[in-house]
Every structure is written in C-alpha cells, then in structure tokens.
Amino acid sequence: MFGIQTRDVADDFNSRRRTLWNTPTASMPTNTHTIRYNTAKKSLFNVHLMSVKFEDLYGFMVKGNVDDVNVLNEVRERIREQGRVWWALEASKGANWYLQPKISSNEGVISVTSLKLSVLTNTITLRRLIRKGVPPVLRPKVWLSVSGAAKKRSTVPETYYDELIRATEGKTTPATRQIDHDLPRTFPCHPWLNSDKGQASLRRVLVGYSFRDSEVGYCQGLNYVAALLLLVMKTEEDAFWMLAVLLENVLVSDCYTDTLSGCHVEQRVFKDLLAKKCPRIAAHLEAMGFDVSLVATEWFLCLFSKSLPSETTLRVWDVLFNEGAKVLFHVALAIFKMREDDLLRIQHIGDVIDILQTTTHHLYDPDELLTFAFDKIGSMTTNTITKERKKQETVVMAELDQRTRRLSSLKMDE
C-alpha cells in the first residue's frame, strides 16, 4: 500500500479518512459482547484456574482464566451503563456538549473568573465522566477535543497529512529503517496490525511524524503507541494528530529524542514520588538494590500499551488526554501500591519483576486500577511535578554532558 501500489491522488487522499477497521462496539456501546466460555466436563476441577482464550474489544487475543473473563464481563456491563449516561447527557446538553473550550486549572483548583457557569459545570462533569471511562464509540471525537489534537490540526491546511505522506514516499532515513524493522514486531498477534494493510497504515503514521519532527524522528515504543491509536481512532489522519499532540503537548519534551533525556527525568521523578507516596516499598526495593526504572521505563515510553490489557490501557489514556502526563505517575504508583504486601515479602529482584508483570498483565478491571491511582495515591498537582522535573532535569543534563565528554575523550584516544 505504501510505496508499492499506485493509486489516484483523489483515492489516496480519501483513503486516510476512511475507517481502517471496526471494533465490535462500532455502532453503540450497548452492543458490547459478553465473553462466553465452556466449562463442561471441567466441573470436578478448579474452574477458576482453567485457561481460556478470548478476543477483547479491540481485536487482541487474550489468554487468561475464568476469573479474568468474569471481571471483563463485569467491566463490559459497566461500559454499557456508562454509555447510557453519555447518551443521556448528549440528549439533554446536545451532541457536542463536551467540545466546548477546555478550562485550565492551577494547583487542581479551577478558576471561575469571567467563566460561564454552564462551561464550568460541563468541565467538572466531563472530568468525572472521563475518569469513569469514555464509551469506545465516542473515544475518537472526545480524545481529539480534550487533547487539543483537533485544534492543532485546524492550524494547518486540510491536505497537510496527505501532502506529508506523499512527500515522504520512497525516502529512506535511519528512522524509516528502524520503523521497517519494528513493524512486524508491533503487536504481531493482532490480525489487522499484522496484515499488510495494517502495517502500511502504521508505517505511514510513524514515517510521517518522523519527518514532521526530525528531532524526535522515531523512537522504539512509539510503534506500540501509534498502533493502539490507529485501532481507536480508526483513521490514519486522526491517529497522526493524536500522536502529534501527545508528543508535542501532553507528554514532557525530549522523552523520545536520541538521548531520551525527558524519559530519564521522568524516571527520576517517579523514583522520588515512590519514596514519598509508598515509602515502605521504596525503602525495601532500595535495600534490595532494585532500580524501579527496570519496569517503569517501558511503562512510560509505551504508555502502558505493552503492559496493561488494551481496554485498561485505553481507560488510562482517557484520563491522560484530559488531565495530562501526571496521570502516568498516578498509574505507575498505583501498580506498586496494589501489590505492597507482596513486594514487602520478597527478597529477590527477579521476584519483583515477576510480581509487577503478572499484576499488569491481569489488570482487566480499569476501575480498580484508577481507584488506586486517584483515591489511594492521593493528589499530585501538575505544578508540584513540574518543579520536581526542573530539579531532576539539571542532574540528568549534567550526567548526559559528562557521558558525551567521556565518549569524545575515548574517540580522541583512538
């Protein structure tokens, strides 16, 4: 599809606005399917430990046990109930009530100066609703609005994305070579993402962004983020703009540049927050010599897309796009907090990794995770995290500069 087939410009232009694939919930959230399994002839055994396979809402094949299936069925029922709440609000407030200008907040307090009461009410209502989950069918429109992606896209010509893709066809860079290497390894078990059409769409989004921002280019981890965005947004152009707003506005800068300096800063901030919010865990892990970045780096670079089940990941992203990057810290801390007792009992680094990986892979209930993240962890204002980032940025940049000088010295000696 990309750089292989030749098509009319008009056909090429329209294809990227066409739905790429459909989720089982493409019409209404009330169509969310209940997962069924057959336990006949297994009644004499512990059915709850029986291994089952099932497909989730976004086409991923999941391996779990009967308890996991029961949890997912409960979650899907809550999705249906939440969908009815959204539809009722659309009926009373209008179809696009949540597309009104977003209110900025400082230290968690919303300013009401010269603000219409209806806008304030909608902002508070929207925040509460989003924390409970956006219905899958509304996610594309809600995400584009609350993240600022729609506004970003409105500042360029309508043909921007298609012209960018046409301009990059046939060009080879270090970024495109790495992208081509990573495409087959990006969620290889997903039927659409593992197809020629799916990989071609993902390639265009990633290559297009690598040319839009040459400083970022491409970094491993972005392939998983962009792939999941494609499954949610359903069009290449919408996925591209969500990726753009994510890297340029939502996340801290320099997370995906060559030095990964922004990612190093986030890891240091997270380590400090763990010591403040979960002091017993932090002290125990430090005594063991366990570096939390061993697990948290992938969480932050892939935005949990490789660690959590897809439906749980997208619930995290619902809040991320509305409230900003501080959400990643809330969720990461919650994962540790949920397993505090188990973590305090173990004495080997390998056991820490096993516990955390098992926990994330089976977190099928996003409400449980987000309850821990916001109710059990407590508040963390954006300003507090920003101050911590500035402090850690000085340390990280000094270390990177020292490493650069050391490498230069070694090259001169050669």
Structural domain containing residue 94: 51-104+115-139
SS3 letters for 49-108?
HCEEEEECCCCCEEEEEHHHHHHHHHHHHHHHHHHHHHHHHHHHHCCCHHHCCCCCEECC
Residues 399 and 271 in one domain: yes
> Is residue 271 located within the same domain as residue 348?
yes
Q: Is 40 contained in some domain?
A: no
Same domain, 258 and 388: yes
Terminal C-alpha separation, the chain: 46
User: How many independent structural domains does the chain possess?
Assistant: 3
Can you spell out the DSSP letters for 271-291?
HHHHHHHSHHHHHHHHHHT--
Q: Are residues 128 and 242 in the same domain?
A: no
3 state SS of 181? helix
Domain boundary pick from 217, 249, 281:
249
Q: Which of 65-69, 126-130, 160-164 has the lowest mean pLDDT?
A: 65-69
Same domain, 287 and 397: yes
Nearest to residue 388, comparing CAs of 261, 248, 270? 270
Instruction: List Cα–Cα distances, 207 to 117, 166, 177, 179, 412, in angstroms.
Output: 44, 11, 10, 7, 35
Identify which of 290, 376, 368, 295 has the alpha carbon closest to the alpha carbon of residue 330.
Answer: 376
Is the pLDDT at 23 greater than 70, yes or no?
no
The verdict on residue 22 lying in a domain is no
Q: Is residue 33 part of a domain?
A: no
Tell me: do 262 and 399 sit in the same domain: yes
Say if residue 157 is exposed, middle or buried (CB neighbours under 10 Å; 0-12, 13-18, 19+).
exposed
Residue 80 Cα distances to 30, 131, 143, 362, 393, angstroms: 5, 15, 19, 22, 44
Phi, psi of 53 (to 5 degrees): -120, 145
Closest listed residue to residue 55, CA positions, set 303, 310, 227: 310
pLDDT digits (tens, 9 = 90+) for 253-307: 888 888 888 899 999 999 999 999 999 999 999 999 999 999 999 999 999 999 9
Could you read off the pLDDT of 175-204 as tens digits, one per residue? Answer: 999 999 999 999 999 999 999 999 999 999
For residues 380-402, give the mean pLDDT.
86
Contact 201, 20 (CB under 8 A): yes
Q: Render pLDDT for 198-225 as a digit per residue (tens, 0 to 9).
A: 999 999 999 999 999 998 999 999 999 9
One domain, residues 404 and 264: yes
Final residue of a domain: which of 224, 249, 274? 249
**pLDDT band with cut points at 50, 70 and 90 for residue 39:** very low
Kindly report the pTM of this predicted structure: 0.84
Residue 36 has pLDDT above 60, yes or no: no
DSSP state of 372: I
pLDDT band at 22 (very low <50, low <70, confident <90, very high): low
Please report the sign of the dihedral spanned by the C-alpha atoms of residue 43, residue 45, residue 49, residue 51: negative
The reply to whether 46 falls in a domain is: no
- Number of other residues whose CB lies within 10 A of the CB of residue 116: 10
Structure tokens at 271: 């380590």
CATH number at residue 208: 1.10.8.270
Asked if residue 235 and residue 174 are part of one domain, the reply reads yes
Average pLDDT of the chain is 84
Indicate whether 126 and 213 sit together in one domain: no
Give the rounded percent of residues in the chain with a pLDDT score beyond 70: 81
Closest alpha carbon to 318 in 55, 127, 151: 127
Q: Which of 190, 145, 187, 138 is closest to 25 using CA atoms?
A: 138
Q: Are residues 243 and 258 in the same domain?
A: no
Torsion, Cα 237 329 57 180, to 10 degrees, reads 50
Q: Please indicate, yes or no, if residue 308 is contained in any of the structural domains.
A: yes
